[in-house]
Amino acid sequence: MTEEKKPPNFAPWDRSQFLNRLETFRHVDKWMSKPDEINEVQWARRGWTCVGKETVGCVGGCGNEVVIALEPTREEEKPVEGPEPSEEAEDDDYDWRDEAQKELVKRYTEMIVTEHDEGCLWRRKGCD
């Protein structure tokens, strides 16, 4: 009897495995588009797959999971019924929200690597 060998969990050189990880992000009920710095390609390059609504999980051994929670951008927001806010108040509101969003994206960019356990191989190297 011949046993089928499973491919290793850590194979950053394997294009097929990368594409399999990337494919897990295709369901719009689980993953919405993200800024380029933290999009599905960036997560998949470092060994993450989409495992739930806005949640990624490591496939390489540490099994850690990260929930990505971002506010909708101005373009994605639906207009709120009621009186129109003043333009100045609206600008102030978006200024701090935009800055907060940029900081969150920056933090998630780091987390693509740092949320793997210290001993996880995906923390040391991702796909080229």
Asked if 100 and 60 count as a contact pair (C-beta separation under 8 A), the reply is no
DSSP 3-state assignment of 48?
A: strand
In order of 5, 55, 60, the CA distances from 25 in angstroms are 26, 10, 17
Beta-carbon contacts of 43 under 8 Å, excluding residues fewer than 6 positions away, are: 25, 50, 56, 112
- The answer, as to whether pTM is greater than 0.85, is no
**Which of 70, 58, 61, 60 shows the shortest CA–CA distance to 98?**
70
Beta-carbon contacts of 99 under 8 Å, excluding residues fewer than 6 positions away, are: none
What is the residue-level pLDDT of the chain in tens, covering all 128 positions?
Answer: 556 666 667 888 899 999 999 999 999 899 998 999 999 999 999 999 999 999 999 987 799 999 999 876 555 444 455 555 555 555 555 678 888 889 999 999 999 999 999 999 999 998 87
User: Which amino acid appears at position 77 of this protein?
Assistant: E
**Which of 51, 33, 52 shows the shortest CA–CA distance to 42?**
33
Asked if 116 and 64 count as a contact pair (C-beta separation under 8 A), the reply is yes
